[in-house]
Structure 1
Amino acid sequence: MPNEQAHGNTEILRELLHYEMPFGKYKGKLVRSLPMSYLEWFVQKGFPAGKLGMLLQTMYEIKLNGLEYLLDGLKRNL
């Protein structure tokens, strides 16, 4: 099994440090700073297609499981 699959893709986590919401109420806000209620709205309505949807869904899972410290650790190591 490739190392990336065994430990996840840290590049996705790194993108969450800088990726801005391109539309809507939170346009210009970092995806990592979006409130959980907004991410839950996407869970109910459906995530957008493509990269943005994947990042929003990843951020939802991170917040849902209390894993935001993973992003804080990456930020310190940059």
Structure 2
Amino acid sequence: MEQNKQFLIDLATAKMPFGKYKNQYLIDLPEFYIVWFKNQGFPKGKLGNQLALIYELKLNGLEDLVKGIRNKN
């Protein structure tokens, strides 16, 4: 349970490490940018996993849950 909590906190506070949106929270990235990654292929590793989850959250209208976690931390 604690591991899942920390995973969500990490996701909520993760920032884009490169590009036009460098240092923006992943959850705040524009939807078109996340869709572009989905179509091109997400990067390997942790960032790719996080972006894929952000895509699913945005697709299902759940990004406010992650933003709420970020605001509490």
Identity of aligned residues (%): 47
RMSD: 2.0
| Unaligned residue ranges in structure 1 (runs of 5+) | none
| Unaligned residue ranges in structure 2 (runs of 5+) | none
Q: TM-score, normalised by structure 2?
A: 0.82
Q: TM-score, normalised by structure 1?
A: 0.78
The structure whose RCO (Cα within 8 Å, separation 6+) is larger is 2
Going from structure 1 to structure 2, the CA distance change for 1:72 and 1:26 (only over 3 Å counts) comes to closer
Greater percentage in helix: 2
Deviations 1:8-29 (A, max 9, x none): x333321122111111111111
Runs of 4+ deviating beyond 6 Å: none
